[in-house]
Chains A and B, each alone.
Chain A
Amino acid sequence: MRDSAASRLEKGAPVRLDKVSFSYGEAPLVFDVEFAAAKITAIMGPSGSGKSTLLNLVAGFETPQSGRVLIGGADVSVEPPSMRPVSMVFQENNLFAHLTVAQNVGLGRSPSLRLTEADHAAITEALERTGLAGKEKRLPRELSGGERQRVALARVLVRDRPVLLLDEPFASLGPALRDDMLDMVAAVHAERGMTVLFVTHQPEDARRIGQNMVFLDDGLVAATGKADDFFAGAGPEAFRRYIGAST
């Protein structure tokens, strides 16, 4: 019943921004780029280069001034966020503070929390999968920062959309915890094969799970390619400067 267009899509739909321009009233951002289906693409670039805006355009929180956003070949430029075949994990505020872990995950199945037996089973399974079994009844404030982001991942699992957007979701976690979370994302990706767009500031994060790389600079797509090539030194000069400055 819900999101018919979304669930009809093949696992891992390609995401394409076709000459999309957008501006917050200053210099416009222009994106013309394709993200390969079923791959993890790291999106990097200096602050203000438009990384988060790009994700917001794909998710539907912003509407392009011109150009089209295509997911799996379909034009979704004016679709509201909930109708797009997309899940997104933010840096914070992924959970409703007054709802339990299970309810927060359940919202991924039904925005009115009217859940079927099958939904409940899926929720339980997702919580087990993310190592949260036994914490169904907890409130977000009773969880650690890492656990909260895992609840968000569990919701991604039950929502089961072909595109996953990660907007620096682990930036506030310590290094070891961050690696755990990245491995969990990689495992989920291996299982579900969705297209992942992963915004990060940390080169080691991109290197750990990124297959492809899109490098943004000053509101434009400055370079694209295999992540390994970028880190082997084949990236553009701007990328090497950025890496050098940030590590």
Chain B
Amino acid sequence: MQRATSDPRITAGIAALAAIALLIGGAFAGLLFEGVHDLSGAWAAFDPYLLRVVRFTLWQAALSALLSVVPALFVARALSRHPRFPGRAFILQLFAVPLALPAIVAALGILALYGRAGYFAGVIGGGSWPGIYGLSGILVAHVFFNLPLATRLFLEALQTIPTDQWRLASQLGMAARSAFRLIEWPTLRAALPGVAGLVFMLCITSFTIILTLGGGPAATTLEVGIYQALRFDFDPARAVTLTLLQIALTFIVMLALTRLGANVVGDTNLPVAQRRYLSVGGGETWLNAMLIVLALLFVVGPMAATVMAGLGADLDRLAGEATVRQATLTSVVLGFLSALLSVMLSLALTMARRALALNSRAGRKTLLEHAADTGASFVLVVPPIVVGAGWFLLLRHVGDVFAIAPVMVVTVNAVMAMPFALRAIRPAYDAASERHERLCAQLGIVGWNRLMLVDWPSLRRPLATAFAFAMALSLGDLGVIALFGSDSVQTLPYLLLARMGSYRTEDAAGLALLLGLVCLSLIVAAHWLGREKLRDA
């Protein structure tokens, strides 16, 4: 239709898709070019060491998923059975915090608590505590992130059980055991594959935790392997092999996840306690309370340690340091640009998707519509490190790889934040379009007029939510900057890593506190902006 193709929203969407394709395609071009260039080298990378790396990647992810998901089942059930547990709402808020914390901040908190020189070692008595580098450290960190996430997802599933079923259960006199078997377990079992798959996926693509807590070749995953191959061994052929393996791995897991109908973005609403009609026995109450308190301690521990260690640092001196100031400025500017780009790309895709859907209401979906629909989620298959590695390989032939650092950080992080940004923008835009579409068509409000007069006023808040989210993600990211960072371009996470590497733990703790607080306030702002909606006529 003539009208369809002239819609500027579709043009914007095509431009956004082209930009994303360029970013991902460029990375693949770099990988392929390098692989063809040194085919024998790429083959030679398939050695026993590589197999060990693959095995460890899968092994740590499986263990992490198991240790996060199984306890989460019981913690979620305990929370659901006690809707009036003291501080329940606050506990759930706390369980959302790890999602908002940059991985490197959490890693530092965990080291401050359980490390060889941490608070824990101090309590137990010097020398006897072995510390937690290696697999144990990785597992503790992954469980710290994913136990609360899984708990919230399971709790959300449990809240979907209709109140009438609980009324019925109490009328029939069901005891805790049969209520679990007949009511709770079927719901949890339905949610289980999706949640476990999501956690597994997150652990397979986890980079920062492995880098900071893995502590050596015995505990290395594919992503860290890529980083080491590029930054330390200068072995591009090996990097290509590792990257392709990583892509294949994530792709398979992603495919399985979509089959399971999992929500791969992993952001949950705060479950609201509903009125319940059940009586919980005294023994069970104690057991549940203990479970909740244990989970709470496990989650709060590293956070508290981050704060304590951070406050123990010489914050005044840090604040005065030129490097710190420069890194903060760089982080803020790059994060801001990245969030802006992310929101613009997401908005363009959302608008194009909607416009295409309106045009082909009766017909079948076109390829373009599919791309606008699912293009962004494919981005999740390609982790930042992989995109970074591809461009790193491509650009090293052209000139100074490190000079391009700001562009890479901004673009890669922008695209990586898109699934989250889309989640905030798309429902709001579609709802607004539902109300405004015919009116705009009738009155001839299109293009810039429409953006300023109609879309911007009704999308301000969701756009701000998406922006804050994207900025927090970008600020906390260590993936791309780890590859491209140098003395001339440092972000806060990069500086933090450098200070950890040179054993200036106090400095690192101070920086972690700063970074954690900034990211946390951005996420809080995002949620606050997302909750308050304009009342519409």
Binding site for B on A (CB under 8 A): 2, 23-25, 59-61, 63, 78, 80-83, 86-88, 90, 93-99, 107-108, 111-113, 139-141, 143, 148
Cα A81 to Cα B442 in complex, Å, equals 5
Does B442 contact A87, Cβ atoms closer than 8 Å?
yes
Given the interface contacts A59-B442, A111-B446, does A98 sit within 8 Å of B535 by beta carbon?
Answer: no
Q: Is the CB of A112 within 8 A of B449?
A: yes
Interface string of B423-464 (1 = CB under 8 A from A): 000000000000110110111111001000110011000000
Given A90-B438, A97-B536, are A108 and B443 neighbors across the interface (CB < 8 Å)?
A: yes
* Contacts from B to A (Cβ < 8 Å): 1-3, 361-362, 435-436, 438-439, 441-446, 449, 453-454, 457-458, 534-537
Q: List 14 A-B contacts (CB under 8 A).
A: A24-B362, A25-B362, A80-B3, A81-B438, A81-B442, A90-B439, A93-B439, A96-B439, A96-B454, A97-B435, A113-B449, A113-B453, A141-B536, A141-B537
Q: Beyond the given A81-B438, A82-B443, could you list 6 further A-B residue pairs with CB under 8 A, ordered by the A residue number?
A: A81-B442, A96-B454, A98-B457, A113-B453, A141-B535, A143-B537
Verify A112–B453 contact, CB threshold 8 A: yes
A96 to B455, CA, bound (A): 10
Contacts of B438 in A (CB 8 A): 59, 61, 81, 88, 90, 93
If A97-B536, A111-B449 touch, whether A83 touches B436 (CB-CB below 8 Å) is: no
- A210 and B382 alpha carbons, distance in the complex (Å): 63
Chain B nearest Cβ from A99, distance in angstroms: 7
> Given the known A-B contacts A63-B1, A93-B435, are A139 and B537 also in contact in the complex, defined by CB atoms under 8 Å?
yes
Residues on the B chain within 8 Å of A24, using CB = 361-362
- Cα-based distance from A20 to B242 in the complex (angstroms): 61
Task: For A88, list chain B residues within 8 Å (CB).
Answer: 438, 442
Q: Which residues of chain A are within 8 angstroms of B443 by Cβ–Cβ distance?
A: 82, 107-108, 111
Given contacts A23-B362, A141-B535, contact A97 B441 (CB under 8 A): no
| A98 interface neighbour in B361, B439, B534, Cβ under 8 Å | B534
Q: Which residues of B contact A59 (CB under 8 A)?
A: 438, 442
**A98 and B458 contacting across the interface, CB-CB below 8 Å:** yes
Q: How far is the CB of A20 from chain B (nearest CB, A)?
A: 15
**Complex formed: what's the CA distance from A86 to B442 in Å?**
8
With both chains docked as a complex, state the minimum distance between the C-beta of B71 and any C-beta of chain A, in angstroms. 46
- Judge whether B442 and A82 touch: CB under 8 Å: yes
Cβ-closest chain B residue relative to A94: B439
Q: In the complex, how many angstroms separate the beta carbon of A117 from the nearest chain B beta carbon? A: 21
Central interface residue in A24, A87, A93, by most chain B CB within 10 Å = A93
Q: How far is B454's CA from A107's CA once the two chains are assembled, in angstroms?
A: 11
Q: Let me know if A78 and B537 touch, CB within 8 A.
A: no
A95 touches B537 (CB 8 A): yes
Task: List, in ascending order, chain B residues with CB within 8 A of A87's CB.
Answer: 442
Partner of A82, one of B362, B441, B536: B441
Q: Which residues from chain B contact A148 at a C-beta distance below 8 Å?
A: 537
| A108: chain B residues within 8 A (beta carbon) | 443
Chain A residues within an 8 Å CB radius of B435: 93, 97
